[in-house]
Amino acid sequence: GGILPVILPELPEGAEEGTDREEALEHLINSVAYSPRRIQVRLAALFHHLAEGAGSGNGEEEAGLAASAIESAQLAQTILKRWRASRNLTRQVVSLVAEQVPEGVEAWRDGEVRRFLAQVGRDQLDDVLALARADRMARRDRRRGLAVLRDLQKRVVDELERNPPLQRQDLAVTGRDLMQAFHLPSGPFVGQLLQTLYQYVLEHPACNEYKFLMDFLKKKYTLKFQLPPTPEGNKQNQGG
């Protein structure tokens, strides 16, 4: 009863004590209570496991949770549109729900931590971690989840202090550099090469140097193109 089922019918309904739906509803409410007083985080906490509470998980643990985050984000967008929330607030909340910290982060390699940072973005990072903390605080077995999250936060801080390249514009080469060095026309292939380099430096940030990246492309795409000959090479070919 009450007003909640009217304004938010997507919440688990008919939840009886001790059932999965009752636990899911309790978790969502407690997550909101443990969230900081930032409206986008509190709304994200209310929505972050909404698809799970509705019983839409597919039973596969990690894949199911990842799919649930996307589904919950879609539900959040539908609800906020119905509530006539601003576009900016809707964008923030939907992004927080979709990009929430997944399970299994304790097994992440350094490259996966950097990919997480690249995906989330620096502007949203504090809110994403705040949502993760609220979610872990609301669990019955909170101790382990909070310990794992603290370790992730330390790794995030360490990575940010090293200032790795996290966006494509951080690459030591540009599309213009590639077109000039390899005599390429502007087009999708240049974008493909930049994306290849971007994925590479996320795994190997110390390799983000002009010469190294150019050499990397020469080796990787050796059958597709070659660097133009140097003036000295032309003279030798001409017998000069």
pTM: 0.81
- Round to whole Å and give the CA distance between 70 and 95: 9
Average pLDDT over the chain, rounded to an integer: 86
Residue 14 in 3-state DSSP? Answer: coil
HSE of 234, CA atoms in CB hemisphere, 13 A: 5
Task: Give the pLDDT confidence of 36-52 residue by residue, as tens digits.
Answer: 999 999 999 999 998 87
Query: pLDDT tens for residues 84-125?
Result: 999 999 999 999 999 999 999 999 999 999 999 999 999 999
Kindly tell me the sign of the dihedral angle through the C-alpha atoms of 199, 174, 216, 206.
Answer: negative
The per-residue pLDDT for 1 is 54
**Rounded Cα distance, 160 and 203, in Å:** 15
Q: In the chain, what percentage of residues exceed pLDDT 70? A: 82
Would you tell me the crossing angle of helices 122-137 and 87-98 to the nearest 10 degrees? 60
The pLDDT, as a whole number, for residue 230 is: 47
